[in-house]
Amino acid sequence: MAALNIKIEEDKSLPAAKKFKVGQSYEHVGERVKLSGWIHRLRSNKKVVFVVLRDGTGFIQCVLAGDLAVAQQTVDLTLESSVVLYGTVTKVPEGKSAPGDVELVVDYYEIVGLAPSGEEAFTNKIAEGADPSLLLDQRHLTLRGETISAVMKVRAALLKSIRRVYDEENITEVTPPCMVQTQVEGGSTLFKLDYYGEEAFLTQSSQLYLETCLAALGDVYTIQESFRAEKSHTRRHLSEYTHIEAELCFLSFDELLDHIERLVINSVQYVLEDPVSGPLVKQLNPKFQAPKGPFLRLDYKDAIQWLNDHDVKNEDGEPFKFGDDIAEAAERKMTDTIGVPIFLIRFPVEIKSFYMQRCKDDPRVTESVDVLMPNVGEITGGSMRIKDTEELMEGFKREGIDPKAYYWFVDQRKYGTCPHGGYGIGTERILAWLCDRFTVRDCSLYPRFSGRCKP
Ligand code: 4AD
């Protein structure tokens, strides 16, 4: 089609256009509106150009006809160019589907930033089927895609819902430091840093700090980055992840489990009820079933029995025995087969952290829990904490940790100890379950794992 030398100008006799976000515009049928965003899709036939405009709040189909369609400026339009469109919101005819059931009949538009064509065109940068590592190099561009942006929207809704549940349960938000001089979950995954000549680490968990807040603020939570120098590449391990952690005082192990159950059930419910994130979960994970309580509570020793009954072997290729770690593959096999959320409880002392409270009826095991979800495995780890100073010192000794740097954590026991417990949820793990993503990497804005620290 020969492009005409037409200058695109606004017809000043038209009613003034009201500025809206795309998601709001669906409610303004019949009105002249001004919408700004990026060209998500672009298609033309001889007389009409169809644009799908995206602004993060939604998508809207837009139609450019007449002079607008044939002007050189329109012929030169490219995907991902940013534009301001003026036009009238119109209901799409019965039987036709479009986002919001509307389209924008454009009467005038401006280009804000024209994206390149040819070699540098957007589609060449994020070619479908490209090597995942190349796509991760272009994460800043792939984020614009419908799938990743949908996961990020659900992520935002999930964090909002989690905060809502904490608010309903009267739990106070705190922000502990990320630069620390203590470990929580074992020395092998610590990221070390030079802190003005002193050794320091990036935090693995804010748990110890949360414990110190109990006597000051009561029950507390944080949503904060945690860091793990995980050497192995797995689909569920990141080097940096967003850790949702809470610590609750004067409660029993059963009450802690009930609280975690409420948090998971209610926060997921809120995500599903939300008009933005609910449909996105449906789109990403059509078979998703909201979890219902009570969750299955499975003792570690019974899990060992289950694994042996189902001929699942331990890491040495042998039948499981009491004291074995249940590694990722075996845990997945069990969780996927059972097919419902599981509270795996009462792990042996030796395979858990230094701070975990032993069970009164069996001191070989701890008041500990891993929450396991089908298709992902562990999304949460938690426990009751040792409340007695002497017992805590034994824990340090068993794990070969010098307690000196932990004086403030020990003081929590010294100055008015209390029964308490808490847990950490991996945001990317719970999202992988909710959004049915193969790996937690798909649930992080800019994933970090060994070999990947950019963009
Ligand atoms: O089981 P973890 O190591 O427990 C703790 O850090 C406790 N101190 C938390 C607490 O009680 N406050 O980690 C808790 C959760 C795991 O269940 C998992 O969901 C997530 O954090 N997680 C990771 N997520 C992504 N990448 C990693 N490398 C992760 N390591 C743990």
Residues 300 and 151 in one domain: yes
Residue 207 in contact with ligand 1 by CB distance below 6 A: yes
**For position 45, which CATH number holds?**
2.40.50.140
Give yes or no for residue 424 CB within 6 A of ligand 1: yes
Pair 110, 161 in one domain? no
115 plus 191 within the same structural domain: no
Q: Are residues 325 and 385 in the same domain?
A: yes
Which domain does 384 fall in, by range?
139-443
Would 3 be classed as within a structural domain?
Answer: no
In ligand 1, which atom is closest to the CA atom of 382? 11
CATH of the domain at 279: 3.30.930.10
Q: Is the CB of 382 under 6 A from ligand 1?
A: yes
Residue nearest ligand 1's atom 27 by CA:
237
**Do 108 and 143 belong to one domain?**
no
Question: Does residue 128 fall inside a structural domain?
Answer: no
Per residue in 387-437, pLDDT (tens digit) is 999 999 999 999 999 999 999 999 999 999 999 999 999 999 999 999 999
Residues 107 and 143 in one domain: no
Going by their DSSP bridges, the two strands 240-249 and 420-426 should be labelled as antiparallel
Could you give the number of structural domains in the chain? 2
- Does the residue 352 lie in any domain? yes
Residues 332 and 421 in one domain: yes
Based on the fold, state whether residues 246 and 351 are members of the same structural domain.
Answer: yes
Instruction: Indicate the top mutation candidate among 171, 174, 185 to test ligand 1's pocket, ranked by most ligand atoms within 8 A of CB.
Output: 185
Q: Evaluate: CB of 230 within 6 angstroms of ligand 1.
A: yes
Residues 173 and 220 both lie in one domain? yes
Q: Which atom of ligand 1 has the smallest separation from the CA of 243?
A: 21
User: Does residue 127 lie in a domain region?
Assistant: no
Query: Is residue 219 domain-shared with residue 102, that is, in the same domain?
Result: no
- What is the whole-number distance in angstroms between the Cα of residue 270 and the centre of ligand 1? 23
As a whole number of angstroms, the distance between CA 293 and CA 369 comes to 16
**Which residue's alpha carbon is nearest to atom 30 within ligand 1?**
237
Which residue's alpha carbon is at the smallest distance from atom 22 of ligand 1? 426
One domain, residues 385 and 254? yes
Contacts of residue 232, defined as CB under 8 A and 6 or more positions apart, other chains included, come to: none
Rounded to 5 degrees, φ, ψ at 146 are: -65, -35
pLDDT-derived band at 375, boundaries 50, 70, 90: confident
DSSP string, 408-452: HHHHHHHTT---EEEEEEEHHHHHHHHTT-SSGGGGSSS--BTTB
> What is the distance between the alpha carbons of residues 67 and 277, in angstroms, rounded to a whole number?
39
Cβ contacts of 404 within 8 Å, gap of 6 or more: none
Q: What is the ipTM of this complex?
A: 0.99
Are 34 and 154 in the same domain? no
Residue 11 lies in a domain: no
Q: What is the pLDDT of residues 40-53, one digit of tens each?
A: 999 998 799 999 99
**Model confidence over 132-141: pLDDT tens digits?**
899 999 999 9
Q: Is the pTM of this model over 0.90?
A: yes
